[in-house]
Amino acid sequence: MTFEEWVQSRLTAHGYPCGPIDGIFGPATRAALKHFQAAHQLDTSGVGDAATVLALRKPSSRVPVEEKQFIPDRDRDGPDDGRRSVWPRQRDVPQFFGPVGRNQTRLEVPWDMVLAWKTDISIRTITVHEKVAASAERAFHRIRGIYSTREIKALGLHLFGGSLNVRRMRGGSRYSMHSWGIAIDFDPARNRLSWKRPRARLSRDDAVPFFQAFEAEGWLSLGRARNFDWMHVQAARL
């Protein structure tokens, strides 16, 4: 991550969204930076000076403003860093990933997780398909680098809602993406399947860097794409 990307990630985490986290200091980023600086009684220089960096590094205290929803720009997905994966469409998943429940591996999460529905059980590793493990690991480390432990908890990213789970889709005969270990759920209680913006916790501005870390690896958020199931990210396209 470049310094510019870090500044954009932190601005977004603080509730000052600046559009795609692409490392480009355009008008949107400068405007967000000036707003942040003004709110923190700093010189509104619009550049990432030492005092601003210090303030950006502190955990976010601002409750995200719901009216300032970040609208993903579909034409600009951020820079291609050369390792972005293209995952199959959902209908091609069986062909690409093979039989359900097979070829799984365990992945270490770089922060303390607990089982969402039984929080006295800590989760050290999660089970995912071998083909997606490296990409998920990079996304997790990128997220760890953006958010403080307090912010991870505020977002509910420590509440593991499941990955591998061989089951049929609700009300259908097709298998859920979880059946291949290519989907991960976070904080299901505050992101129920049918909940939309701004009710779902992960639909708020401060979660944008979390989703962008997965999207940089070609993963998809049903929340960001379809405004439901905000708990869920998957390594398959619609």
Q: What is the 3-state secondary structure (H, E, C) of 80-125?
A: CCCCCCCCCEHHHHHHHHCCCCCCEEEEEEEEEEEECCEEEEEEEE
Contact between 232 and Zn ion per CB under 5 A: yes
Per-residue interface string for the shown chain with Zn ion, residues 149-188, x marking contact by CB under 5 A: ----------------------------------x-x---
CB of 73 to Zn ion, least distance (A): 25
The smaller minimum CB distance to Zn ion, of residues 22 and 187, is found at 187
Minimum Å gap between C-beta 79 and Zn ion is: 28
Q: Which is nearer to Zn ion, 25 or 228 (CB)?
A: 228
Site mask for Zn ion (CB under 5 A), range 109-148, x = bound: ----------------------------------------
Closest CB to Zn ion belongs to which residue?
232
Q: How far apart, in whole angstroms, are the C-alpha atoms of residue 186 and residue 157?
A: 6
Containing 129, the helix (H) or strand (E) segment is: strand 118-129
Query: By C-beta, is 23 or 94 nearer to Zn ion?
Result: 94
The binding track of 48-67 with respect to Zn ion, each residue x by CB under 5 A or -, is: --------------------
Which position has the token pair 């995200």? 64
Instruction: List the Cα angle 189/194/200 in 5-degree steps.
Output: 50
**Minimum distance of Zn ion from residue 222's CB (angstroms):** 8
Q: How far is CA 9 from CA 61, 83, 211, 217, in A?
A: 15, 20, 11, 16
Q: Least distance in Å: CB of 52 to Zn ion?
A: 38
Instruction: Specify the residue, 53 or 193, whose C-beta has the smaller distance to Zn ion.
Output: 193
Considering the complex, state which of residue 19 and residue 181 has its C-beta at the smaller distance from Zn ion.
181
Site stretch for Zn ion (CB under 5 A), options 8-16, 134-142, 164-172, 228-236: 228-236
Name the strand (E) or helix (H) holding 160. strand 159-162
Per CB under 5 A, contacts with Zn ion among 184-223 are 185
> Minimal distance in Å, beta carbon 61 to Zn ion?
30
Chain center to CA of 188:
14
Spatial strand order of the sheet with 159-162 comes to: 118-129, 104-115, 159-162, 183-186, 232-234, 220-221
d(CA 234, CA 215): 10
CA distances (Å), origin 116, targets 53, 76, 153, 212, 224: 34, 34, 12, 23, 22
Chain positions contacting Zn ion, by CB under 5 A: 183, 185, 232
